[in-house]
Amino acid sequence: MAKEKKQGRSFTGTQKIAIERMYRLNELAEDEVKNNPKRSARYVELIRGLSTRFRISIPREIKDRFCKTCGNYWAEGVSVKRRVKGKTKNSNCRICGTLTRRKISEEKNEEKRKHKTN
């Protein structure tokens, strides 16, 4: 998984651990989202807490999974509506109604970077 990912900056030991914990929390949130969305929202809170405490940004693949406005973890097709519009991917939160736009080209760059490091 996303270990030892070098992106032109180096993380301290604790930051690396925090990132690993984020991935773990993301997995837990994913497991719970259908049966226990409230618990998933709590995991999102923890992920954000780690990000603030260790001054690291949340990896995009995780950030993409929850609403940054209401903090709810998105269940695909249930609490989020995703639509690709030209070169933009829209994620529409069904809980608070926030629309998040993301350029698809950005994602592709990220993919390339991933393959390089693997």
Q: Which residues bind Zn ion (CB under 5 A)?
A: 67, 69-70, 93, 95-96, 98
Give the tokens for residue 30. 């994913």
C-beta of 19 vs 29, nearer to Zn ion: 29
C-beta of 22 vs 41, nearer to Zn ion: 41
Here the contacts of 39-42 (C-beta below 8 Å, separation 24 or greater) are: 40/72, 40/73, 41/71, 41/72, 41/73
C-beta of 29 vs 93, nearer to Zn ion: 93
CB of residue 72 to Zn ion, shortest distance in Å: 5
C-beta of 46 vs 70, nearer to Zn ion: 70
CB of residue 75 to Zn ion, shortest distance in Å: 12
Q: How many Cα atoms are found within 13 Å in the side-chain-facing hemisphere of 44?
A: 23
CB of residue 59 to Zn ion, shortest distance in Å: 20
CB of residue 79 to Zn ion, shortest distance in Å: 8
